[in-house]
Structure 1
Amino acid sequence: MERSTTHHQFVGPKSRLSPLALMVMMAFPVIAAEETDDKSRAYARNVVEFESDLLRLDNGSKVDLSRFSYGSSASPGIYRVNISVNGEEVAQEEVEFKAGDNRQVYPCLTPRLIQLINFNEDKLPSEVKQALSSPATCSNLVSVIPEAKFEFDSGDQQLNIEVPQIYVHRTARGAVNPELWDSGVPALMLGYYVNGYDSQYSSGGDSRSLYASLNAGLNIGAWYFRHNGSYNWQKDIGGEYNTTNTYVQRDIAPILGRIILGEYNTSGQMFNSVPFIGAQVSSDDRMLPESQRGYAPDIRGIAKTNAKVTVKQLGNIIYETTVPPGAFLINDLYPAGYGGDLEVTIQEADGTTQQYTIAYASVAQLLRPGTQRYSMTAGKIRNTGISDEPMIYEATYMRGISNIFTGYGGVQVSENYQAYQLGLATGSRLGAIAIDATQSTSKLGNKAGGTKSGQSYRITYSKLIDETNSNITLAAYRYSTAGYMDLLTALQTRDAAQNGYDPNNIWRSKNRFTVSVNQGLPEPWGNIYLSATLENYWNSGQGYNKQYQMGYSNNWKRVNYSVNVSRSQSSNGNEQTNWYLNLSFPLWDAWESHTPYMSLRYNQDNNGGKSEQAMISGTLGDQNQYNYNLSGSHDSQSGTSANIGGGWTSSIATINGGYSTGKNYHSTSLGLSGALVAHSGGVTLTPYNSDTYALIEAKDAKGAKISGYAGTSVDRFGYALFPSLSPYQMNSVSIDPEGSSLDVEFENTAQKIAPRSGAIVKVKFNTNKGSPVLIASSFAGENLPFGADVLDESNASVGIVNQAGAIYARVREDKGTLLVKWGNDIGSSCKVSYMLAPTTGDSQASHIQQFTSPCTPVQGPVSSGPRTEMASTH
């Protein structure tokens, strides 16, 4: 083997761009405008013309840059890619790419790809329909439908396809094909929060406690086992562990719901939530496309031409689309708060417009037309504190009947108890209102008054008044007759009588009224809010419990301030009124990193009590992984106190601590939280608690940061956890190479996944480990052609030739041979030998070695092309 000639040189740390990106940066491309009459051009065919006169070789000849004239220079092969059609993600699977006459790669049009595009056969021209019914082997979509477009980003493994909307079935915005819902990998998970507290008193006494909450899980296929519990220990009392829930769940995609077996709670949609052990089948709104969750009205209209439809709310555009001539339906508006009428404008191709208004107000009971929400439960009541825990059967159902009406009803049955509910919700210009009635029958036994029957009536109202910017977010009133009881009240009343207690000590609600109003004032006068709750009971023998809150908030320059007052009055006549004044502001420029904030608070009550507090808080670290707070306060009763606290979000856990001292005491607290996941590759820790994770695998990438989550990074085994994924919708999982060794290159740094709720989805980021080299070389006395491929001895592409004729590559071995290839014949390739200089410490990982080595002729046949390495998320 020939040794590399002349000298080696270390070049300082460089950006780890891919060889292609480095090449393009040096190429100074000129983008040529497309001809407007060529509708068949695709994204990937938007030609980028390199000015070859600026890139002549030393001998005056021009270089062939046609390979890069059509965007990303992917090689033909099979890739695992994310596929989107007209902007919506539809699948993630293997697609074969072939090179066309212009050397541009295109995706093969297979029956599976045709299925994913979801063509509307009724709208297709006959010749297109015939071509799609029996596609030729690896035909090009653009040759079948000239108006179609595609773009393949080989770096992000993303294939974007655009087809005229008239040719495909319309899907709701944010829709994710259930085939993409990922059940994840087998894994064991444990989330935890632990807090210890110790107080010492000047009298010589002390108080110590420990609290820990645990969220454990085991995922096997599509079955997810879960356990939630907590441990509480106090000095002189001891410790006790309490189980909250233990259950197993599995999604049932065809009914947009799931089954749960074990300890859980009823839905609480219509009747009060009850803990049970048994089985439940219920819907999950998160399985709907994001644009079809919650309530928003359908918008219908008729367009005379290809028209633009614009929807505004409170003067803001919330939706815009283009529709063909004829009747149209828009049913994928995102929910927009509790109200605000919708202004619809249809702008025809000739410039004429139609305008109309659709009333929009919402309450929690309203559903979109055609959507439903359901729950069915059967099991035994648990953890109610009563001696007899009977069976419970409950079923509830809600359905959007039209833009105006939603109907709902339910039944709840137990031993000695029955309840039925019917309700109707409606939205109109007067606001959104829901009215329902519940009938209950309770057999309490002779000691508790025999059988009692009664009714409970509820009305809920919501309205946004555009003219005054007044938002009545919730106003609800419930009246219950003397004989009405909810299930737990009936069980407790019967149990009290059977055990010799007075059943009248179990209060039964009579009237309950709640209201919350937000009033925005004209700029710059801020905002006012008001809330109130009034409630009384049949058997309390006293008046109403009353609670009122009112507040004003605004800002002046960099200062945020608020004034609040709260008043409570119990049924026995006790009253409490509190006034609060709060101010917060940055201590210096709020745009600067790590700017600390000062908060000031003053409180006074109607009994003469006063308190003041001043606190400074902020964050530190390049990812804000450190936080701190210092405060001092004075209370008219307890005196003066001081507190200091801080936290650190490390790569494996979050640690918090604090110290407080005051009149006759001092206390210390220490907290630890995080989670661990055991999987086939080992055990991975994270400082973030979550139920749904992406398990990132990036071999040799220790130290690479997880985008968006302070303190988290890839561990020494090549794994990290990306928390808080949104189930059933596309999530972007990204990794930041900063922090990893410079001898590691990422094939891509972002991928998309759609996990099921509770899944641990493995996301693999392919990496190439090797030493970066920059080799000055020549062949037959001439510079190497710009853009030529550089292959290693395993025929894997490891680099490229830059504009200066130098080789930029990343090599895995300390010495070896590289093949430089710019054509298919033997005269269009040569080989370069290299030998890396000895290094110490991490110098190899943090520098590019630069040296000179000649490129010599190749003996024997030349490989037809580089080996394609597929990127995969699983």
Structure 2
Amino acid sequence: MKYNKVDDKACAQFPGKLSPLIIALLSLGTTNAHAAETLPPQELAKNVEFSSSFLQLEDQSAVDLSRYANGANITPGTYSSAVYVNGDPVGNMDVTLRERKDKTIYPCMTDTLLRQIPFRYDHLPAHFFDKVGECGDLQQLLPEAIVQYDSNELRLNIQLPQLYVSDSARGSVSPELWDSGIPAAILGYNLNGYQSTSHGVENKSLYAGINAGLNVGAWYFRHNGSYNWDQNGRKKYESINTYMQRDIPALRARALIGQANTRGDVFDTLPFTGVKLATDERMLPESQRGYAPEIRGIARTNAKITVRQSGQVIYQTTVAPGAFLIDDLYPTGYGGDLSVTVEEADGTRQAFTVPYASVVEQLRPGSTRYEIVGGDLRNDYITDHIALYQGTVRHGITNNVTGYGGLQVSQNYYALLGGAALGTGIGAFSFDVTQARMHLRGTDEVASPGQSYRLSYSETLNNTNLSVAAYRFSSSGFMDFLTAQQTLNAVKHGYGEDSISRSRNRFSLTASQGLADTWGQIYASGSVQDYWNKGGSDKQYQVGYNNSYGSVSYGISAGRTYSISGTEDTYLLTMSMPLGRSDSSYRPQLSMMLNHDSNGRTGEQATLSGTGGDEHQFSYSATAMNTNQGVGTSGALNAQYRAPFTNLSAGWSGGRNYHSESLGANGTIVAHSGGVTLSPYNSDTFALIEAKGAAGATVSGYPGVHIDHFGYALVPYLDPYQMNNITLDPKGASEDVEMASTEKKVAPYYGAVVKVKYGTKSGTPILVNATVNGDPVPFGAEVLDAEGRSVGTAGQGGQIYARVEKDQGALTVRWGKNSAQTCKIRYHLMPVGSTQKGNRLQTFTSECEAGSSSATSGHNELAMRSNTTGEGA
């Protein structure tokens, strides 16, 4: 597997590599090669004459040097090249070089190549792209442009006046380069089967979550849902949302129709059915990605974790015993608490709430973010159709001040919010006021007006990361949109207004402090909330300390939770260390944990985990546990295997009077015009690689992503609206295949499936010592295959390197325009043994049949050498 048209190993066997020879040749004339590559076209010497006597040829007229008279230093053809604009790389692509009437060479500026250049499109001449055609000459389209091709580096250098080149912020990508992708059907799946037996009682359940989609042009259809089944007869499919979306690049926004969620950066997140138009910061350079909180907890056994927001299941998985972290939630907005349920294998459950509140977010001066929503509230517990009309806007007024506001309206409710964020030397503050009013149905005189005041603060100062500190006070009559609708629904069904809790004060804090030298880090978090119409308060606090000594990491934490059932304190000590040689990437990890709570329960746990396989595709963990209060000892085994087409997992845990088993699979299936391609990864934006014949090649930076037998692979986790480098590694592919290029760039829309095609050429490499009329074929002659494609150039001594697809055929050698300056080489390859890996370079000597192509092969069939080289091509 090689990258270029000329095989480096083959060239090492003979002194006929063309490019260095041409450079040496040009250095003997009045204009050297370096000048030809660096001087602007108008400064190049014209009609330079070169003497063929330096080549020491018997027939000096056999070589046509006129093509080099005006600065050309490479023969016409297609070359995989790096493209640079004003010194900045814009990508690698195939560049076709053609010859002008004066025999100078110019690169074909195709529409695809020009779209890679960050033009100021409003400054280009009228109908610029219409004049490009199949092969445009940039120096004719833009006379001020300077185009130079460096044949040594296979690099196309384009110099443009700043008038035509965008001076956007570093990392920005013009919307002209965004790719909406190809038509495709997408199915992301997450399957989890769970079985447990506790005290003789068996429980079986199955969860299947899907993220399905259909892309047609720039329109993307999406459906997210889950199917839950258990042996007690519960069988239910829940639709999370279904919608259609389309990007509007001119507005840096996205239009959506269907079921979705409001963004939640001003008001809390609300699920709705309707239409939405909202800006997307990812369309801007260096923008921040969507926010979702991390969920942390402790599982005593192989446990099933379920995450709900607004009563809907948005995530479910099975975790091994010990501390767990869920940090891969799809962003669902900045507000709306998450309810987390941990279902243990022995049947016990624990539940807790993760606050999901807005954080301070300022904008640059002149920047604007907005969201407009119209539709109905979507809530499984409210039976009426509740209209929801919402608009929010944030605008950067100055470098330090951002103003924001919003309006929510329904048939029985309105809320008006206004506020500002202020950046100061001691941190960033935001303050806003919300005025709301709710009307009870059927009564004109009864209403519930109120106000809510919110103050937030965030700062990183002297190694202290105070990520968010927020306080909200609400008057007795204030209700947010969801609380108001829940209250109206309760009154409709005969309950009182006070049956739904109304928040009074809410305070949350998260802070961490790095200590001096190697003393580690301490952190603290907490939240407190009380109510107008309910006694008591909800409180939770946590403090902790982390550090490491050598390769050993350790930490201690303490937490307190207040709930209806009382107060519970928890304490946790953790320690982890690698085992084995430090120079091995397969070292297993030993983790130990000791926990204790205020109920007197104490548990110890040790886990051994690691990975295996050439690409770490196999992972495993084994856990041993012991708990007092009659629980006793228990254990768990978990394994995961990232297969080429799916991700498989299995788990087992067992203890006194219980055991559980689980099986899972997740991945993505994409149907496209070339067939069906599978991936072990779940993602929302993919690149579909097409590299026919390159089965086994890998995609650098994406473990487990291989070109399949059909010539396709799915690359996940692309950064939308930004340039993504996708590089193929030919290692693992057949040696019979040569790749025209191995690196390309794409900037996909969010949710797109972008096709990235890599040119490949299959066949056997041959090295021919060719003669015509007893003399070597002319130096620099072009070599064409049966379809007229350029496959090589004659080097010194008439040596020709080419890759041929058929076992027998003919190559045409051409060094002029008339038939007397062409000849034909006929070949018949030697058979290759069945045990030989790939097709190895075959070398032979052949007489090139001069004149008409109708000559018969006869005795001119190649005189093949019985030896083939030991190197693959």
Normalised-by-shorter TM-score class? 0.7 to 0.9
Partner of 2:299: none
CA spacing shift, 1:267–1:109, aligned 2, 3 Å: closer
TM-score, structure 1 normalization: 0.77
Partner of 1:19: 6
Partner of 2:858: none
Which of 362, 365, 369 pairs up with 1:373? 369
Which of 767, 778, 782 pairs up with 1:774? 767
Partner of 1:325: none
1:363 touches 1:433 (CA, 8 Å); kept in 2? no
Which of 475, 486, 489 pairs up with 2:480? 486
Q: Give the SS at the match of 1:489.
A: helix
2:602 pairs with 1:610: yes
1:16 touches 1:742 (CA, 8 Å); kept in 2? no
Q: Which moved more, 1:561-570 or 1:481-490?
A: 561-570
CA deviation after TM superposition for structure 1 residue 374, in Å: 0.6
Q: Give the SS at the match of 2:586.
A: coil
CA spacing shift, 1:177–1:248, aligned 2, 3 Å: same
2:172 pairs with 1:178: no
For the residues of structure 2 that align with 1:831 and 1:94, how far apart are their CA atoms? 27
2:596 pairs with 1:583: no
State the percentage of identical aligned residues. 40
**What amino acid is the match of 2:464?**
S
For the residues of structure 2 that align with 1:56 and 1:640, how far apart are their CA atoms? 86
Partner of 1:454: 450
For the residues of structure 2 that align with 1:806 and 1:393, how far apart are their CA atoms? 76
For the residues of structure 1 that align with 2:202 and 2:632, how far apart are their CA atoms? 19
CA deviation after TM superposition for structure 1 residue 446, in Å: 8.1
For the residues of structure 2 that align with 1:642 and 1:602, how far apart are their CA atoms? 15
Partner of 1:516: 510
2:683 pairs with 1:690: yes
CA deviation after TM superposition for structure 1 residue 271, in Å: 1.3
For the residues of structure 2 that align with 1:114 and 1:724, how far apart are their CA atoms? 24
CA deviation after TM superposition for structure 1 residue 739, in Å: 2.5
Partner of 1:265: 261
Q: Give the SS at the match of 2:848.
A: strand
2:210 pairs with 1:209: no
2:649 pairs with 1:656: yes
1:469 touches 1:519 (CA, 8 Å); kept in 2? yes
Partner of 1:533: 527
Partner of 1:346: none
Partner of 2:435: 439
2:541 touches 2:561 (CA, 8 Å); kept in 1? yes
1:20 touches 1:800 (CA, 8 Å); kept in 2? no
1:788 touches 1:800 (CA, 8 Å); kept in 2? yes
CA spacing shift, 1:86–1:850, aligned 2, 3 Å: closer
1:774 touches 1:848 (CA, 8 Å); kept in 2? no
Which of 540, 557, 560 pairs up with 1:567? 560
CA deviation after TM superposition for structure 1 residue 635, in Å: 1.9
1:110 touches 1:138 (CA, 8 Å); kept in 2? no
CA spacing shift, 1:553–1:448, aligned 2, 3 Å: farther
Per-residue Cα deviation, 1:555-609 (whole angstroms, up to 9, x for no partner) = 2222222222222233x58222222222222212344232222222222223332
2:392 touches 2:404 (CA, 8 Å); kept in 1? yes
CA deviation after TM superposition for structure 1 residue 480, in Å: 0.7
Specify every segment of 5 or more residues in structure 2 that has no aligned partner in the other structure, as ranges: 45-50, 292-357, 855-873
CA spacing shift, 1:737–1:88, aligned 2, 3 Å: closer
For the residues of structure 2 that align with 1:91 and 1:703, how far apart are their CA atoms? 22
For the residues of structure 2 that align with 1:72 and 1:643, how far apart are their CA atoms? 68
1:107 touches 1:140 (CA, 8 Å); kept in 2? no
CA deviation after TM superposition for structure 1 residue 115, in Å: 12
Which of 798, 806, 817 pairs up with 1:813? 806
**What amino acid is the match of 1:479?**
F
2:272 pairs with 1:276: yes
2:638 touches 2:652 (CA, 8 Å); kept in 1? yes
Q: Which moved more, 1:553-562 or 1:473-482?
A: 553-562
Q: Give the SS at the match of 1:140.
A: helix
CA deviation after TM superposition for structure 1 residue 457, in Å: 0.7
For the residues of structure 1 that align with 2:88 and 2:227, how far apart are their CA atoms? 48
For the residues of structure 1 that align with 2:112 and 2:746, how far apart are their CA atoms? 24
For the residues of structure 2 that align with 1:193 and 1:673, how far apart are their CA atoms? 4
1:617 touches 1:627 (CA, 8 Å); kept in 2? yes
For the residues of structure 1 that align with 2:556 and 2:797, how far apart are their CA atoms? 68
CA deviation after TM superposition for structure 1 residue 251, in Å: 1.3
**What amino acid is the match of 2:593?**
R
Partner of 1:796: 789
Partner of 1:622: 614
2:242 pairs with 1:243: no
CA deviation after TM superposition for structure 1 residue 721, in Å: 1.4
CA deviation after TM superposition for structure 1 residue 854, in Å: 1.7
Partner of 2:424: 428
Which of 729, 733, 749 pairs up with 2:726? 733
For the residues of structure 2 that align with 1:85 and 1:471, how far apart are their CA atoms? 41
1:86 touches 1:163 (CA, 8 Å); kept in 2? no
For the residues of structure 2 that align with 1:724 and 1:815, how far apart are their CA atoms? 45
1:249 touches 1:261 (CA, 8 Å); kept in 2? yes
CA deviation after TM superposition for structure 1 residue 56, in Å: 7.8
CA spacing shift, 1:740–1:842, aligned 2, 3 Å: farther
Per-residue Cα deviation, 1:742-784 (whole angstroms, up to 9, x for no partner) = 2122111221111111112222112112122334445566666
2:36 touches 2:71 (CA, 8 Å); kept in 1? no
2:68 pairs with 1:75: no
For the residues of structure 2 that align with 1:518 and 1:72, how far apart are their CA atoms? 62
1:185 touches 1:761 (CA, 8 Å); kept in 2? yes
Which of 528, 544, 558 pairs up with 1:551? 544
Q: Which moved more, 1:518-527 or 1:641-650?
A: 518-527
Specify every segment of 5 or more residues in structure 1 that has no aligned partner in the other structure, as ranges: 1-13, 46-51, 296-361, 863-874
Partner of 1:745: 738
CA deviation after TM superposition for structure 1 residue 243, in Å: 0.4
CA deviation after TM superposition for structure 1 residue 92, in Å: 9.5
CA spacing shift, 1:776–1:583, aligned 2, 3 Å: farther
Q: Give the SS at the match of 1:689.
A: coil
Which of 670, 674, 677 pairs up with 1:677? 670
CA spacing shift, 1:856–1:718, aligned 2, 3 Å: same
For the residues of structure 1 that align with 2:845 and 2:257, how far apart are their CA atoms? 68
Per-residue Cα deviation, 1:122-142 (whole angstroms, up to 9, x for no partner) = 9x9xxx99x99x999936389
Where do residues 402-417 of structure 1 align in structure 2 (5 Å cutoff)?
402-417=398-413
CA deviation after TM superposition for structure 1 residue 694, in Å: 1.4
For the residues of structure 1 that align with 2:535 and 2:757, how far apart are their CA atoms? 66
Q: Give the SS at the match of 1:853.
A: strand
For the residues of structure 1 that align with 2:38 and 2:387, how far apart are their CA atoms? 67
Q: Give the SS at the match of 1:209.
A: strand
For the residues of structure 1 that align with 2:120 and 2:379, how far apart are their CA atoms? 54
2:494 pairs with 1:495: no
CA deviation after TM superposition for structure 1 residue 800, in Å: 4.7
CA spacing shift, 1:72–1:171, aligned 2, 3 Å: farther
Q: Which moved more, 1:774-783 or 1:260-269?
A: 774-783
CA deviation after TM superposition for structure 1 residue 86, in Å: 5.5
CA spacing shift, 1:263–1:804, aligned 2, 3 Å: same
Per-residue Cα deviation, 1:339-398 (whole angstroms, up to 9, x for no partner) = xxxxxxxxxxxxxxxxxxxxxxx9633111111111111111122402223111111111
CA deviation after TM superposition for structure 1 residue 73, in Å: 5.1
Partner of 1:350: none
Q: Give the SS at the match of 1:492.
A: helix
Where do residues 357-368 of structure 1 align in structure 2 (5 Å cutoff)?
364-368=360-364
For the residues of structure 1 that align with 2:401 and 2:678, how far apart are their CA atoms? 49
1:87 touches 1:160 (CA, 8 Å); kept in 2? no
CA spacing shift, 1:116–1:838, aligned 2, 3 Å: closer
Partner of 2:757: 764
CA deviation after TM superposition for structure 1 residue 83, in Å: 7.6
Partner of 1:194: 191
1:705 touches 1:735 (CA, 8 Å); kept in 2? yes
Q: Which moved more, 1:812-821 or 1:781-790?
A: 781-790
Q: Which moved more, 1:830-839 or 1:377-386?
A: 830-839
1:142 touches 1:149 (CA, 8 Å); kept in 2? no
2:383 pairs with 1:390: no
